[in-house]
Chain A
Amino acid sequence: MFGLGVLKGMMVTLRNFLGSYFSKERLTTVQFPEERIPEKERFRNFPFLVYDKTPEDPRCVSCDICAKECPPKCITIVRDSDSAGKPLKRPKSFDIDFSICMNCGICEEVCPFDAIFMDHEFELAQYGRFEDLNYHKEKLLKSNDYFKKIRPTDAARIDQKRAAKAPKA
């Protein structure tokens, strides 16, 4: 019969419409700002820097590997030096331009000092186009406790690795 196919299709839409009131299978959306889907542990957005005790003493030794390997080249690092001009193993400035970063996670993979990791923070809208999205060291540095909170499995693995490698002091 001509038109049967359309009717059958209508039945499907009706089933989906009515089903959306009863079945989680058919209504998978949530009311976003109030209700949120739990974050996945491996979710990656923009990178952040980890410090162990104080923000003045970050894990980063400004080796520049992440800046070199970053595919869109969004990381700029300047090495710190002491008053005599001798270079120190810490960054003077560490900038990541979030308007360029493409969240690939390669910096995290190549970092030999486990200093840079991908964050879960994603509500980062800004009014300014350039400087507001260029994150400096102060804003990027976050504690290891924060890292443990957002990515417990990875943090535990990294802590174990670092403890095994720690110099006998």
Chain B
Amino acid sequence: MEHTLSEPTPTLDTQMLEVNLGPQHPSTHGVFRMNVTLDGETIVKLKPVMGYLHRNHEKLAENMTWLASMPFTDRLDYICSMTNNFAYALAVEKLAGLEVPERAQYIRVIVAELTRLVNHTLLIGFLLNDLGAFFTPILYAFREREKILDLFETISGSRMMCNFFRFGGVKQDVTEDFIPRAKDIIQRYPKFLDEFEQLLTTNEILMARCQNVGILSKELAVASGISGPMLRATGVPYDIRKVDHYSIYDRFAFRVPIGAMGDVYDRYFVRILEMRESIKILEQAVREIPEGDFLSAKGAAGAKAPRTFKPPKGDVYGRIEAPKGELGFYLVSDGSPKPYRYHVRPPSFINLTVLEDMTLGHKVADAVAILGSIDIVLGEVDR
């Protein structure tokens, strides 16, 4: 892409300044580097450098049983392990033709939507951190997130690395206190969101820093394969929960919030609205959850002896609407207990491709805010 550099003034000899933002920079959310060329403080070129957290996820998975890479999917996007499990389980179930019991479907939707709350709350906290509101919004976000993570720990044994999904259901049935506690959290969450919004939404500093910054056009977003809240902030009502109706999402009434401008503020606000819609889904799901099996008989056999689990030959692409966007798994089976090919389509990596287009012409401080609004997790970007 061509970028014109501003002409140096004839009287003063100036030159471009190259700055390395990262990899150990607190605003890069991990080990991510931006090679920025600056004209004064204005960005004229930005080159993202990634791969510092590469852990060979795909090839590792091709050398172990189908089930054994489930705990590794937790570590893709380590903030929302439940949805990563969900996407992988969904893809394998599609490949193997496994049925999922009704109760397990509900448990899956509940934990996936709770994960969305966790992710969006945390992201907004971090975005504010990037804007310079040090640690006040993020600690409010952490406080609320911890309540949900406590719930995850009660049912799965681990706060973040849940490893809770199995092919054909979930690992264990939820504990008896899960539904009442989830109800309690769901009931209190709108109050927290109201307070959070009171703190942020009309805040002049936030508006000045975020509005008209990092505008992403609808056309570019669609052409670059952007998904998730970033795409919806540009005004495209595309939500895989609505498009694919995977799992049991067709049973719930919820709306897809969209933005108008596609700037950082829209991305912030779309996420707030999405959390409110998630709460609607959760309210319906905890009300309707039936009794029954949490894992199908075939799935239980596969979990007990992973080496006997051999999906038939073929390939499949399973995708879900993860909090960050479209998370897909492309899997090829050759009929053996190990995947022949295992590919992850990570939302944060693909959303990152438009970083340069959004940041050009902005100040270097805005680049940090724009990066924060993309919502990347380096575990998923580098895999």
Contact = CB atoms under 8 A, between A and B. Distances in A.
B69 A71 contact: yes
Q: For this complex, into which size category does the number of interface residues on chain B fall?
A: 35 or more
Interface in B155-185: 155-158, 161, 163, 171-172, 175
A9 B199 contact: yes
Interface in B52-94: 64-65, 67-72, 74
A137 interface: no
A126 interface: no
Contacts of A12: 195, 198-199
Interface string A32-56: 0000000010111000000000000
Interface in A68-111: 68-71, 102-106, 109-110
A128 interface: no
Contacts of B140: 16
B251 interface: no
A8 B143 contact: no
A109 B74 CA distance: 17
A106 B198 contact: no
Nearest to A12: B199
Given A71-B69, A106-B71, A110-B306, A42 B161 contact: no
B199 A71 contact: no
B169 to A, nearest CB: 13
Contacts, number: 84
A116 to B, nearest CB: 14
A79 B195 CA distance: 61
A42 B71 contact: no
Contacts of B198: 8-9, 11-12
Contacts of A42: 153-157, 172, 175
A60 interface: no
A141 B33 CA distance: 46
Contacts of A31: none
Interface stretch (B5-13, B102-110, B119-127, B202-210): B202-210
B204 A40 contact: no
Given A12-B198, A110-B304, A110-B306, A43 B153 contact: yes
Contacts of A104: 70-71, 74, 161, 163
B253 interface: no
Nearest to B153: A40
A44 B157 contact: yes
A109 B299 CA distance: 13
B305 interface: yes
A103 B204 contact: no
Interface string A3-34: 11110110111011000000000101000000
Contacts of A13: 136, 199
Contacts of B156: 42
Given A16-B140, A104-B71, A106-B67, A9 B157 contact: no
Contacts of B150: 40
Interface string B202-224: 11111100000000000000000
A50 B204 CA distance: 60
Nearest to B71: A104
A130 interface: no
Contact of A103 (B64, B67, B158): B158
B58 to A, nearest CB: 14
B65 A44 contact: no
B69 A5 contact: no
Given A26-B143, A42-B157, 20 more contacts: A4-B202, A5-B201, A5-B206, A6-B204, A8-B202, A11-B198, A12-B198, A16-B140, A28-B143, A28-B147, A42-B154, A42-B175, A44-B157, A71-B64, A71-B68, A104-B74, A105-B157, A106-B306, A110-B306, A118-B157
> Can you list the 4 inter-chain pairs with the closest CB atoms, starting with the nearest?
A104-B71, A5-B202, A44-B157, A42-B157
12 contacts: A5-B207, A9-B199, A12-B195, A12-B199, A13-B136, A28-B143, A28-B147, A43-B158, A71-B69, A104-B74, A106-B163, A110-B306
